[in-house]
Amino acid sequence: MIYGRFFKSGTAIAVTLVACSSWAQLTPIKFQLDWRFEGPAAMFLVPVAKGYFKEAKVDVTVDAGNGSGGAVTRVASGSYDMGFADLAALMEFHANNPDAPNKPVAVMMVYNNTPASVMALKKSGIKKPTDLSGKKLGAPVFDAGRRAFPIFAKANNVDNVAWTAMDPPLRETMLVRGDVDAITGFTFTSLLNIEARGVKADDVVVLPYADFGVKLYGNAIIVSPKLIKENPAAIKAFLLAFSKGMKDVIANPAASIETVKVRDGIINTALETRRLQLAIDTVINSADARAEGFGQVKGPRLSLMASQVSDAFSTKTRVKADEIWNGSFLPSAKDLDVLPKSKK
């Protein structure tokens, strides 16, 4: 009887030791978002909440960010192993810091098209890109759309634009107030912010860069060179688990937002669900994404973007497309098949 109790206890200890051993085998990964815990953050929080990352033997910690530039520099500094950032910001870092020892690289494209657009109120009379000539535009100095505006302007013969800078929370307020004629920003961020200030969506003119000759890629998952060198298997595991989570997010955005609310209890659930759905419809499940394949990039388009960013951002050196992208960690075509077939 005593032996039986000992045996059971010993078995429990053994099971505990095995569990602890399995836990110890998880590779910790610190992940830096590009922005706050808003709708699109669900893409990374769902695989955390559903245990997909841990099933893949990676223990992922997701932190809010304050811009793509910050995400790039934090991964470059070693503070974070991986991150989510606008590809143009990554290109700029590479070209302006050619001798930096730890330049992050992109390993999976998530926003196949830049979410940047120009937005104006219909009452301004702005209907098309050429109407922006001679107008006053507003955006934070680091805004991706503002930085890339010279590319948009060149593609659409826009000139003589005057810029007004402001902090991000004031951008949409200044547009609604009439302090500026138009703004640049991510569509799924600024459009909803304009609505929140009392303007109906039907009263807003949206000029998406992707619809007006600017085929820039948007946000990608980036990785530190250190992780690539020391644990490439962890990167593959992360991307596989992330792709699995993306299927769930696209299939049920409303349920996915609950993972965001866990991280920020004061979010407006309905608003953030709309924001996530808008991101899916405009830049994740876009025509370009379906043509190229989720997660992937095309060489000629990437090279053109590298040249355009070099010119528009006046970088110290030219962007080298082959140095900012590494697609060798991507899951199989079957695992990357996350986009709905019926989407037009």
- Read off the pLDDT of residues 57-79 as tens digits, 9 standing for 90 and up: 999 999 999 989 999 999 999 99
pLDDT at position 21 is: 45
Instruction: Tell whether the model's pLDDT for residue 256 goes beyond 80.
Output: yes
The answer to the question of residue 58 being in a domain is yes
Confidence of residue 24 (pLDDT cuts 50, 70, 90): low
| Alpha carbon distance 244, 256 (integer Å) | 13
Please check whether residues 96 and 223 belong to one and the same domain.
yes
The tally of domains found in the chain comes to 2
Q: Do 320 and 275 have their domain in common?
A: yes
**pLDDT for 342:** 54
Tell me the pLDDT of the chain averaged across its residues.
Answer: 92
Question: What tokens does 31 get?
Answer: 């992940």
pTM (2 d.p.) = 0.90
User: Are 246 and 109 members of one domain?
Assistant: yes
Q: For residue 86, which of 179, 148, 156 has the smallest C-alpha distance? A: 148
pLDDT for 6: 39
Is the predicted pLDDT of residue 112 greater than 50, yes or no?
Answer: yes
Quick count: other Cβ atoms within 10 Å of Cβ 221? 23
Lowest mean pLDDT among 24-28, 112-116, 204-208: 24-28
Range of the domain at 192: 116-211
Q: Which of 332, 340, 322, 289 is nearest to 91 (CA)?
A: 322
Q: What pLDDT, on the 0 to 100 scale, is given for residue 341?
A: 75
Find out whether 129 and 212 touch, Cβ atoms under 8 Å: yes
pLDDT digits (tens, 9 = 90+) for 172-182: 999 999 999 99
**Rounded distance between C-alpha atoms, residue 87 and residue 40, angstroms:** 17
Domain termination residue (choose one: 211, 240, 267): 211
Residue 13 reports pLDDT greater than 60: no
- Comparing CA positions, the residue from 284, 281, 271, 277 lying closest to residue 252 is 277
Clarify whether residues 99 and 237 are in a common domain: yes
User: Mean pLDDT over residues 160-175, rounded?
Assistant: 97
pLDDT tens per residue, range 276-290: 999 999 999 999 999
On whether the CB atoms of residues 30 and 61 are closer than 8 A, the answer is yes
Mean pLDDT to the nearest integer, 198-218: 96
CATH of the domain at 202: 3.40.190.10
Query: Distance between CA 44 and CA 50 in Å, rounded?
Result: 11
Q: Which of 211, 242, 269 is the last residue of a domain?
A: 211
Q: Check if the beta carbon of residue 247 is closer than 8 Å to that of residue 338.
A: yes
191 shares its domain with 273:
no
Residue 328 predicted with pLDDT over 70: yes
Q: In this structure, are residues 168 and 140 in contact, taking their beta carbons and an 8 Å threshold? A: yes
